Every structure is written in structure tokens, then in C-alpha cells.
Amino acid sequence: MGPEEALRTLNEELTRGHRLIAAAVTLEALDEAETAVLGRRAPFSSVQRGLGGLDEEARRRVGRRTNEVREALRAAVSDRRRALEGERDARALEGDRIDVTLPGRRLRPGSLHPLTVTMHRIVDIFTRMGYRVVEGPEIETEWYNFDALNIPPDHPARSEKDTIYLDVPGRTDLLLRTETSAMQIRTMERVAPPVFVISPGRVFRQETADPSHSPVFHQVEALAVDEGLTFADLKGTLEAFARAMYGPEVRVRFHPDFFPFVEPGAQLGISCFVCGGRGCRTCKGEGWIELLGCGMVHPNVLKNVGYDPERYTGFAFGMGIERVAMPLYGVPDLRLFYEGDIRFLRQFQGLG
Ligand code: DAH
């Protein structure tokens, strides 16, 4: 083979090689193409083998071209191999694909119970006024729940008709607390005045559940004792509370009431925050909503904890959290709070 024929063959083989390599669509086909253009029996190889028979000048010329064509074809083969391997790997990944795009089970975010939200709001209002939160036991003694609070032994609230007593061998004075007022005593026993505390918690009564009664409900008790506290302080405090809770237009009224642990005792009413006092469903046409019991701490209560009633005076009030929450959220039946019905509870999502 003369040098000119050798160079032509090299050019043809370069063109043919590129075509064969590009046409290979599998790695096996690529191996075959590689053998066909660079293998021992390929025209390229006979040119290479024939180099020795050429004169020196022609050998250099054809030799250089041989190298160029070999490099170009090898590069084309390895490019094509990389591309085919990439396709093979992608196919394998595609085959192993797990479809995670199916709709999952959506987790609904939880939210606080409306009574918890209400309790937090009440506690917030008083802690901002400087009150401290104290909590006490749900199992109480007759002393803390009744005697120390100046509730006489024959008071009807103490009967088994109203109070749940515990059947504990050797003890006859244990009961489920009927009011958070017991925390007044436990607090004053421990600290000297000034005292400004609130105590939220669960209370229990011998009661059949109906729209406005429940054997278990919640209260927040408040107690303030210091030198020089008067009924005006009580009124101001409760007015500030009512406005913070129900809105700045709310008016308050007090009328006399009796609780053994206060003297004088009163009932706080607020003007209906729904109708402004004209009468509506929320206030049952009254224009007013009775909210809580309050009064000036009875001297006997102060004496029971060793406070000097000549030097200290105080006020106390106790409110049912359900009673505060029901008009606030328009809940017509107390029992809804305890049934755990998700359709009811969902309405309060995002409140707290
Ligand atoms: N303990 C009372 C109740 O359960 C509420 C109450 C009334 C608390 C007057 C007080 C108060 O501190 O002064 O109905």
C-alpha cells in the first residue's frame, strides 16, 4: 500500500469509525464497533502494519496521521462509552424508583383546649398585675377546704350530698376539693404578707352533669393581703380584669352575696359584652352576666393562719373557668368541653 492510499484509507476509516461509534446504542455494540475500527483485522491496523515498508519521509507523514486517527477514534469510543454507561445507570435508577409522591397521612397540628386557653388568658392578666401563680393538691382535708375558710361544721356544702369524700382507712377528713379557695390557706400558712397570688385548678362536686353543671370543673382563685387594702382595691382589680378579658367597654356591677370566708361578700356582674347590655341570648335577656364571687377576707380566716386582722386586710375572688369561657366563645352546654369531640375542639384551633 503506497502512502497516498494509506492516507486515504486512514481518512475513510476515521469517517467510518465515527459513524459506527455514534451508531452503537449498547455497550456491547460499542465493543464491536471498536474492534471493527481499531481491532487487529481493521483496515486501520493494516495501514499501521504497512508503515515499516514505506520510505522514511512517507513513514513519518503516514505515521503522524496514523497517531492522530488512533487518538481521535479512541477518544470517540471513550466518550460514547461514558454516555452509554450514564444511560445504563439512569435506567437502573429509574427501575429502582420508589414512588413517594402518593398522598401521605396528613398530621393535623394539635391545639390547646379552649379551657386551657381561657385559663392562660386569666393567668396572664393577673401575672401582669403582679400576682404569682400557686397550685395545690386536688385531694384536700376538711381543714383547708372548709374549717380554715370559716365554713362551719353544719354548712350544707359539707354534706355528702355536695362534697365527694374519700374512703381512706383511718381518715375521715379527706375529700376532693370543692373550690380552689383552699389555696388561700395553704399560701398564707407559708408566707407573710404582702400576698398576691392566683391559683388555677380542677375542683369536684357531687353533681349530675347537665348543661350548666359538671362534677368536675375548673376555677381560678385570687387572694390579695396587705396593709390597707380596701373594697375599692377589689373593685378596681376586677374592673381591670373584666376589661382585659371582655373588652374596654365592659361595665361592672357588684351586689351583696354571702360566702363564709369573706365579709362583706359580693357577686360580680359584667355588662353583656355581646349586646352591650340591651339583652341577648348570651346574657339571657338580662343585659348582665354574673361572673364570680368575691369579697374582703374574713378576719377569722386571717386569724386561722396567724395573720393579725387589725393590721392586714385582704380581698379574694374565685371564678369558674367554664363560666368565663362559655359566654366568651358562645358555648351553650358545659358538657361540650369534656366530651373530646374533635368537631367541637377544632373550632378553637389557633386560639392559643
Ligand atoms: N369558692 C367560691 C365557689 O366555689 C367562689 C368564691 C367566692 C371564692 C368568693 C372567693 C370569694 O375567694 O371571695 O363558689
- Note the pLDDT tens digit of each residue in 169-228: 999 999 999 999 999 999 999 999 999 999 999 999 999 999 989 999 999 999 999 999
Contact 217, 180 (CB under 8 A): no
Q: How far is the CA of 150 from the centre of ligand 1 (A)?
A: 12
Probe target for ligand 1 pocket from 183, 294, 296, 302, with the most ligand atoms within 8 Å of CB: 294
Probe target for ligand 1 pocket from 122, 177, 181, with the most ligand atoms within 8 Å of CB: 181
For atom 3 of ligand 1, the residue with the nearest CA is 179
Cell of 257: 352575696
Owner of C-alpha cell 383546649: 113
Closest by CA position to 188, among listed 247, 126, 242, 261: 261
Contact 148, 110 (CB under 8 A): no
Residue 8 to residue 42: CA distance in whole angstroms: 15
The full set of domains in the chain, from first to last, is 3-96 (no CATH), 114-348 (3.30.930.10)
Q: How far is the CA of 144 from the centre of ligand 1 (A)?
A: 14
Residue 284: alpha-carbon gap to chain centroid: 36
For atom 7 of ligand 1, the residue with the nearest CA is 293
Measured from the CB, is residue 294 less than 6 Å from ligand 1? yes
DSSP, collapsed to helix, strand or coil, labels residue 234 as helix
Measured from the CB, is residue 201 less than 6 Å from ligand 1? no
Q: How does 265-300 read in b/e, with b if 16+ C-beta sit within 10 Å? A: bbbbbbbbbbeebeeeebbeeeebbebbbbbbbbbe
pLDDT digits (tens, 9 = 90+) for 24-63: 999 999 999 999 999 999 999 999 999 889 899 999 999 9
pTM of the model: 0.71
